[in-house]
Copies of this chain bind each other. A is one copy, B any other.
Amino acid sequence: MSCYPYPMLDRPNMIWTRQTDQNEDLKVHEWIENVEDSVPDWNTYDITILGVPLSKSSISTSAASENPEAMRQAWKSFGTYNLDEDVDLAQLKVVDLGNVKQHVTDIEQTHQHIQDAMEAMRKHHPHTLPISFGGDHSITAMLVRGWKQAHPNETIGIIQLDTHFDVRDPKTLGPANGTPIRQLIDSGIVQGKHIHNIGLHGFFNAKELKMYADQKNIHYTTMKKARKRGVTNVIKNALHQLEAKVDTIYLTVDMDVLDIVHGPAAPAATPGGMYTEELFEAVQIIGKHPTVKAMDIVCLDPRKDLGQQTIKSAVHTMLSFLTGYCKR
Protein backbone atom coordinates (compact mmCIF):
# COMPACT_ATOMS: atom_id res chain seq x y z
CA MET A 1 0.00 0.00 0.00
CA SER A 2 2.76 2.37 -0.88
CA CYS A 3 2.72 4.61 -3.92
CA TYR A 4 -0.27 6.92 -3.86
CA PRO A 5 0.30 8.95 -7.03
CA TYR A 6 0.09 12.50 -5.70
CA PRO A 7 2.79 13.36 -3.15
CA MET A 8 0.88 16.35 -1.80
CA LEU A 9 -2.30 14.36 -1.32
CA ASP A 10 -3.61 12.00 1.33
CA ARG A 11 -6.21 9.39 0.64
CA PRO A 12 -9.68 10.17 1.95
CA ASN A 13 -9.83 9.04 5.60
CA MET A 14 -12.57 6.55 4.93
CA ILE A 15 -13.74 5.16 1.64
CA TRP A 16 -16.94 3.43 0.66
CA THR A 17 -16.66 -0.26 -0.03
CA ARG A 18 -18.49 -2.06 -2.78
CA GLN A 19 -20.80 -4.89 -1.82
CA THR A 20 -20.73 -8.11 -3.75
CA ASP A 21 -24.39 -8.23 -4.63
CA GLN A 22 -25.42 -5.46 -6.96
CA ASN A 23 -28.80 -3.88 -6.65
CA GLU A 24 -30.75 -1.82 -9.12
CA ASP A 25 -30.05 1.40 -7.40
CA LEU A 26 -26.64 2.89 -8.23
CA LYS A 27 -25.76 5.38 -5.57
CA VAL A 28 -23.25 8.21 -5.80
CA HIS A 29 -20.94 6.55 -3.28
CA GLU A 30 -20.81 3.45 -5.46
CA TRP A 31 -20.24 5.48 -8.61
CA ILE A 32 -17.38 7.74 -7.63
CA GLU A 33 -14.10 5.83 -7.70
CA ASN A 34 -11.04 6.06 -5.52
CA VAL A 35 -7.41 5.99 -6.53
CA GLU A 36 -5.82 2.63 -5.81
CA ASP A 37 -2.14 1.97 -5.34
CA SER A 38 -1.20 2.18 -8.97
CA VAL A 39 -1.59 5.23 -11.18
CA PRO A 40 -5.02 5.09 -12.83
CA ASP A 41 -5.61 5.50 -16.54
CA TRP A 42 -6.50 9.17 -16.40
CA ASN A 43 -7.87 9.13 -19.93
CA THR A 44 -10.94 7.27 -18.85
CA TYR A 45 -11.99 9.94 -16.34
CA ASP A 46 -14.10 13.03 -16.85
CA ILE A 47 -14.14 14.56 -13.41
CA THR A 48 -11.65 14.67 -10.56
CA ILE A 49 -12.58 15.43 -6.97
CA LEU A 50 -10.15 17.06 -4.59
CA GLY A 51 -10.68 17.50 -0.85
CA VAL A 52 -9.09 20.57 0.71
CA PRO A 53 -9.60 20.23 4.46
CA LEU A 54 -8.21 23.59 5.53
CA SER A 55 -10.04 26.00 7.78
CA LYS A 56 -7.30 27.28 10.05
CA SER A 57 -7.21 30.25 7.67
CA SER A 58 -10.75 31.28 8.66
CA ILE A 59 -11.45 34.61 10.32
CA SER A 60 -14.15 33.10 12.50
CA THR A 61 -13.86 29.68 14.14
CA SER A 62 -14.70 27.05 11.56
CA ALA A 63 -14.66 23.28 11.22
CA ALA A 64 -14.99 23.49 7.45
CA SER A 65 -11.92 21.28 7.41
CA GLU A 66 -14.30 18.41 8.12
CA ASN A 67 -16.44 19.11 5.07
CA PRO A 68 -14.68 16.87 2.51
CA GLU A 69 -15.20 13.78 4.68
CA ALA A 70 -18.76 14.84 5.50
CA MET A 71 -19.63 15.28 1.83
CA ARG A 72 -18.20 11.86 1.01
CA GLN A 73 -20.29 10.30 3.75
CA ALA A 74 -23.41 12.01 2.42
CA TRP A 75 -22.96 10.62 -1.10
CA LYS A 76 -24.89 7.55 -0.01
CA SER A 77 -28.13 9.51 0.13
CA PHE A 78 -28.04 10.27 -3.60
CA GLY A 79 -28.49 8.19 -6.75
CA THR A 80 -26.81 8.98 -10.03
CA TYR A 81 -30.05 9.39 -11.93
CA ASN A 82 -31.62 12.85 -12.07
CA LEU A 83 -35.32 12.36 -12.53
CA ASP A 84 -36.17 16.02 -13.13
CA GLU A 85 -33.86 16.15 -16.10
CA ASP A 86 -33.84 12.48 -17.14
CA VAL A 87 -30.04 12.53 -17.02
CA ASP A 88 -27.94 9.74 -15.58
CA LEU A 89 -24.64 10.98 -14.22
CA ALA A 90 -23.31 7.43 -14.44
CA GLN A 91 -22.32 8.30 -17.99
CA LEU A 92 -19.44 10.25 -16.45
CA LYS A 93 -16.42 8.65 -14.87
CA VAL A 94 -15.42 10.39 -11.65
CA VAL A 95 -12.41 9.76 -9.47
CA ASP A 96 -11.79 11.08 -5.97
CA LEU A 97 -8.12 11.99 -5.64
CA GLY A 98 -8.23 12.43 -1.88
CA ASN A 99 -7.27 15.36 0.29
CA VAL A 100 -4.51 17.93 0.13
CA LYS A 101 -2.05 17.23 2.93
CA GLN A 102 -2.40 19.63 5.85
CA HIS A 103 0.35 20.95 8.03
CA VAL A 104 -0.81 21.39 11.62
CA THR A 105 0.72 24.81 12.15
CA ASP A 106 2.14 26.05 8.83
CA ILE A 107 -0.78 27.43 6.81
CA GLU A 108 1.54 28.74 4.12
CA GLN A 109 2.86 25.26 3.44
CA THR A 110 -0.66 23.90 3.18
CA HIS A 111 -1.56 26.71 0.80
CA GLN A 112 1.40 25.74 -1.35
CA HIS A 113 0.20 22.12 -1.41
CA ILE A 114 -3.21 23.28 -2.61
CA GLN A 115 -1.70 25.29 -5.43
CA ASP A 116 0.56 22.39 -6.35
CA ALA A 117 -2.34 19.96 -6.37
CA MET A 118 -4.27 22.05 -8.87
CA GLU A 119 -1.20 22.54 -11.02
CA ALA A 120 -0.52 18.81 -11.00
CA MET A 121 -4.09 18.02 -11.99
CA ARG A 122 -3.84 20.43 -14.89
CA LYS A 123 -0.61 18.83 -16.02
CA HIS A 124 -1.36 15.15 -15.52
CA HIS A 125 -4.90 15.05 -16.86
CA PRO A 126 -5.95 18.46 -18.15
CA HIS A 127 -9.04 17.04 -19.81
CA THR A 128 -10.67 16.29 -16.44
CA LEU A 129 -12.77 18.92 -14.74
CA PRO A 130 -11.69 19.39 -11.11
CA ILE A 131 -14.24 19.85 -8.35
CA SER A 132 -12.72 20.89 -5.03
CA PHE A 133 -14.40 20.53 -1.66
CA GLY A 134 -13.21 23.12 0.88
CA GLY A 135 -12.19 24.06 3.44
CA ASP A 136 -12.68 27.75 3.72
CA HIS A 137 -12.67 30.31 0.94
CA SER A 138 -8.93 30.98 1.23
CA ILE A 139 -8.39 27.87 -0.87
CA THR A 140 -9.94 29.43 -3.97
CA ALA A 141 -7.02 31.83 -4.31
CA MET A 142 -4.61 28.89 -4.19
CA LEU A 143 -6.60 26.76 -6.61
CA VAL A 144 -6.88 29.55 -9.18
CA ARG A 145 -3.20 30.32 -8.69
CA GLY A 146 -2.40 26.68 -9.43
CA TRP A 147 -4.52 26.86 -12.56
CA LYS A 148 -2.70 29.96 -13.70
CA GLN A 149 0.62 28.28 -13.00
CA ALA A 150 -0.35 25.48 -15.37
CA HIS A 151 -1.99 27.75 -17.95
CA PRO A 152 -0.07 31.01 -17.76
CA ASN A 153 -1.56 32.38 -20.95
CA GLU A 154 -5.17 31.83 -20.11
CA THR A 155 -7.50 34.62 -19.11
CA ILE A 156 -9.51 33.42 -16.15
CA GLY A 157 -12.97 34.57 -15.15
CA ILE A 158 -14.79 33.78 -11.94
CA ILE A 159 -18.41 33.28 -11.11
CA GLN A 160 -18.76 33.63 -7.37
CA LEU A 161 -21.95 32.72 -5.54
CA ASP A 162 -21.36 34.32 -2.18
CA THR A 163 -22.75 36.54 0.54
CA HIS A 164 -19.44 38.36 0.66
CA PHE A 165 -17.06 40.10 -1.73
CA ASP A 166 -14.08 38.38 -0.09
CA VAL A 167 -11.88 41.32 -0.94
CA ARG A 168 -10.60 42.10 2.53
CA ASP A 169 -6.98 43.12 2.79
CA PRO A 170 -4.43 40.29 3.00
CA LYS A 171 -1.94 42.79 4.38
CA THR A 172 -3.85 42.69 7.67
CA LEU A 173 -5.26 39.21 7.64
CA GLY A 174 -2.75 37.20 5.67
CA PRO A 175 -4.15 34.81 3.07
CA ALA A 176 -7.36 34.33 5.09
CA ASN A 177 -10.83 33.35 3.97
CA GLY A 178 -12.01 36.96 3.58
CA THR A 179 -9.33 37.80 1.03
CA PRO A 180 -9.09 35.35 -1.90
CA ILE A 181 -10.65 37.52 -4.57
CA ARG A 182 -8.47 40.47 -3.62
CA GLN A 183 -5.39 38.28 -3.62
CA LEU A 184 -6.20 37.21 -7.17
CA ILE A 185 -6.91 40.73 -8.38
CA ASP A 186 -3.95 42.39 -6.67
CA SER A 187 -1.57 39.75 -8.00
CA GLY A 188 -2.91 40.19 -11.52
CA ILE A 189 -4.08 36.60 -11.87
CA VAL A 190 -7.69 37.58 -12.42
CA GLN A 191 -9.02 40.98 -13.38
CA GLY A 192 -11.85 42.51 -11.41
CA LYS A 193 -13.93 42.93 -14.53
CA HIS A 194 -13.81 39.17 -15.09
CA ILE A 195 -15.46 38.44 -11.76
CA HIS A 196 -19.22 38.12 -11.34
CA ASN A 197 -20.44 37.88 -7.78
CA ILE A 198 -24.09 36.92 -7.35
CA GLY A 199 -25.92 36.61 -4.08
CA LEU A 200 -24.43 39.36 -1.93
CA HIS A 201 -26.94 40.96 0.38
CA GLY A 202 -27.73 42.75 3.59
CA PHE A 203 -25.35 43.92 6.27
CA PHE A 204 -22.42 41.59 5.69
CA ASN A 205 -19.95 43.63 3.64
CA ALA A 206 -18.25 46.81 4.80
CA LYS A 207 -18.70 49.87 2.62
CA GLU A 208 -14.95 49.94 1.95
CA LEU A 209 -15.21 46.52 0.35
CA LYS A 210 -17.94 47.69 -1.99
CA MET A 211 -15.76 50.65 -2.90
CA TYR A 212 -12.87 48.33 -3.68
CA ALA A 213 -15.16 46.18 -5.79
CA ASP A 214 -16.41 49.22 -7.70
CA GLN A 215 -12.90 50.47 -8.23
CA LYS A 216 -11.81 47.11 -9.62
CA ASN A 217 -14.95 46.82 -11.77
CA ILE A 218 -16.13 43.63 -10.18
CA HIS A 219 -19.62 42.79 -11.41
CA TYR A 220 -22.02 42.05 -8.63
CA THR A 221 -25.72 41.49 -8.29
CA THR A 222 -27.26 41.58 -4.87
CA MET A 223 -29.78 38.95 -3.90
CA LYS A 224 -32.66 41.39 -4.08
CA LYS A 225 -31.74 42.48 -7.57
CA ALA A 226 -31.10 38.90 -8.64
CA ARG A 227 -34.59 37.90 -7.52
CA LYS A 228 -36.16 40.83 -9.33
CA ARG A 229 -34.36 40.03 -12.58
CA GLY A 230 -34.60 36.28 -12.10
CA VAL A 231 -31.61 34.41 -10.78
CA THR A 232 -31.30 32.31 -13.92
CA ASN A 233 -31.30 35.43 -16.08
CA VAL A 234 -28.53 36.96 -14.03
CA ILE A 235 -26.51 33.77 -14.30
CA LYS A 236 -27.02 33.46 -18.03
CA ASN A 237 -26.07 37.06 -18.49
CA ALA A 238 -22.86 36.61 -16.50
CA LEU A 239 -21.93 33.57 -18.57
CA HIS A 240 -22.70 35.45 -21.74
CA GLN A 241 -20.49 38.37 -20.76
CA LEU A 242 -17.64 36.15 -19.66
CA GLU A 243 -17.59 33.74 -22.57
CA ALA A 244 -16.55 36.56 -24.87
CA LYS A 245 -13.68 37.65 -22.69
CA VAL A 246 -12.08 34.74 -20.90
CA ASP A 247 -10.64 31.34 -21.68
CA THR A 248 -11.73 29.66 -18.50
CA ILE A 249 -14.57 30.30 -16.12
CA TYR A 250 -13.96 29.13 -12.57
CA LEU A 251 -17.07 28.62 -10.43
CA THR A 252 -16.74 29.13 -6.71
CA VAL A 253 -19.72 28.42 -4.47
CA ASP A 254 -19.42 29.78 -0.95
CA MET A 255 -22.15 27.94 0.90
CA ASP A 256 -22.82 31.04 2.97
CA VAL A 257 -24.59 32.41 -0.09
CA LEU A 258 -27.51 30.36 1.19
CA ASP A 259 -30.06 31.83 3.56
CA ILE A 260 -29.41 30.69 7.14
CA VAL A 261 -32.65 28.71 6.91
CA HIS A 262 -31.46 26.83 3.83
CA GLY A 263 -27.80 26.49 4.76
CA PRO A 264 -27.41 26.64 8.54
CA ALA A 265 -23.90 25.15 8.50
CA ALA A 266 -22.06 28.04 6.92
CA PRO A 267 -19.83 29.55 9.62
CA ALA A 268 -21.18 32.98 8.69
CA ALA A 269 -24.73 31.97 7.84
CA THR A 270 -27.04 34.95 7.41
CA PRO A 271 -30.73 35.67 6.90
CA GLY A 272 -31.75 37.12 3.56
CA GLY A 273 -29.79 34.75 1.33
CA MET A 274 -30.35 32.39 -1.56
CA TYR A 275 -32.64 29.35 -1.42
CA THR A 276 -31.31 25.93 -2.33
CA GLU A 277 -33.60 25.56 -5.33
CA GLU A 278 -32.16 28.81 -6.73
CA LEU A 279 -28.65 27.56 -6.09
CA PHE A 280 -29.26 24.19 -7.77
CA GLU A 281 -30.78 25.87 -10.81
CA ALA A 282 -27.90 28.33 -11.02
CA VAL A 283 -25.13 25.75 -10.91
CA GLN A 284 -26.91 23.50 -13.39
CA ILE A 285 -26.93 26.34 -15.92
CA ILE A 286 -23.32 27.15 -15.15
CA GLY A 287 -22.32 23.49 -15.40
CA LYS A 288 -23.75 23.37 -18.90
CA HIS A 289 -21.53 26.14 -20.20
CA PRO A 290 -18.44 24.85 -22.04
CA THR A 291 -16.16 27.59 -20.81
CA VAL A 292 -16.66 26.55 -17.19
CA LYS A 293 -13.70 24.33 -16.35
CA ALA A 294 -13.44 24.08 -12.57
CA MET A 295 -15.62 24.37 -9.52
CA ASP A 296 -15.24 24.57 -5.80
CA ILE A 297 -17.62 24.42 -2.83
CA VAL A 298 -16.38 26.13 0.34
CA CYS A 299 -17.22 27.34 3.84
CA LEU A 300 -19.41 24.54 5.11
CA ASP A 301 -18.84 23.60 8.74
CA PRO A 302 -20.54 20.23 9.24
CA ARG A 303 -20.54 20.65 13.03
CA LYS A 304 -22.98 23.53 12.64
CA ASP A 305 -25.33 21.62 10.39
CA LEU A 306 -28.90 20.84 11.33
CA GLY A 307 -30.16 17.44 10.25
CA GLN A 308 -27.63 17.32 7.38
CA GLN A 309 -29.51 20.10 5.59
CA THR A 310 -26.43 21.91 4.36
CA ILE A 311 -24.22 18.95 3.69
CA LYS A 312 -26.90 17.30 1.55
CA SER A 313 -27.40 20.58 -0.28
CA ALA A 314 -23.67 20.77 -0.96
CA VAL A 315 -23.72 17.31 -2.53
CA HIS A 316 -26.83 18.27 -4.51
CA THR A 317 -24.99 21.38 -5.70
CA MET A 318 -22.19 19.24 -7.09
CA LEU A 319 -24.66 16.85 -8.73
CA SER A 320 -26.71 19.68 -10.23
CA PHE A 321 -23.53 21.13 -11.68
CA LEU A 322 -22.69 17.72 -13.19
CA THR A 323 -26.21 17.44 -14.58
CA GLY A 324 -25.50 20.61 -16.47
CA TYR A 325 -22.13 19.23 -17.52
CA CYS A 326 -23.81 16.13 -18.99
CA LYS A 327 -25.92 18.41 -21.16
CA ARG A 328 -22.94 20.15 -22.75
- Which A residues lie at the B interface, using CB under 8 A? 1-4, 10-20, 23-26, 28, 55-59, 61, 63, 65-66, 73, 76-84, 86, 88-89, 103-108, 138, 168-169, 172-176, 200-210, 222-225, 259-262, 264-265, 268-272, 276-277, 280, 303-304, 306-309, 312-313, 316, 319
From the candidates B15, B268, B312, name the one contacting A14 in the complex (CB within 8 A): B15
Most B CB contacts (10 A, CB to CB) among A89, A104, A173, A276 go to A104
Could you show 14 A-B contacts with beta carbons less than 8 Å apart? A4-B20, A10-B20, A11-B20, A14-B15, A14-B17, A25-B209, A81-B207, A84-B202, A105-B174, A106-B174, A269-B308, A270-B316, A271-B312, A272-B277
A237 to B271, CA, bound (A): 26
A79 touches B205 (CB 8 A): yes
> Are A201 and B268 in contact (CB-based, < 8 A)?
no
For the complex formed by this chain, how many copies does it contain in all? 6
A269/B307 in contact, CB under 8 A: yes
Which B-chain residue is minimally distant from A106 (CB atoms)? B174
Kindly provide the distance from the CB of A253 to the nearest chain B CB, expressed in whole angstroms. 14
CA distance A20 to B37 in the complex (A): 10
Q: Is the CB of A207 within 8 A of B88?
A: yes
What is the distance, in angstroms, from A315's C-beta to the closest C-beta of chain B?
Answer: 9
- Residues of chain B within 8 A (CB-CB) of A173 are 104-105
A276 contact from B14, B66, B259, Cβ within 8 A: B259
Q: Do residues A268 and B77 form an inter-chain contact, with CB atoms below 8 A?
A: yes
Q: Please tell me if the beta carbons of B174 and A81 are within 8 angstroms of each other in the complex.
A: no
Whether the Cβ atoms of A260 and B81 lie closer than 8 Å is: no
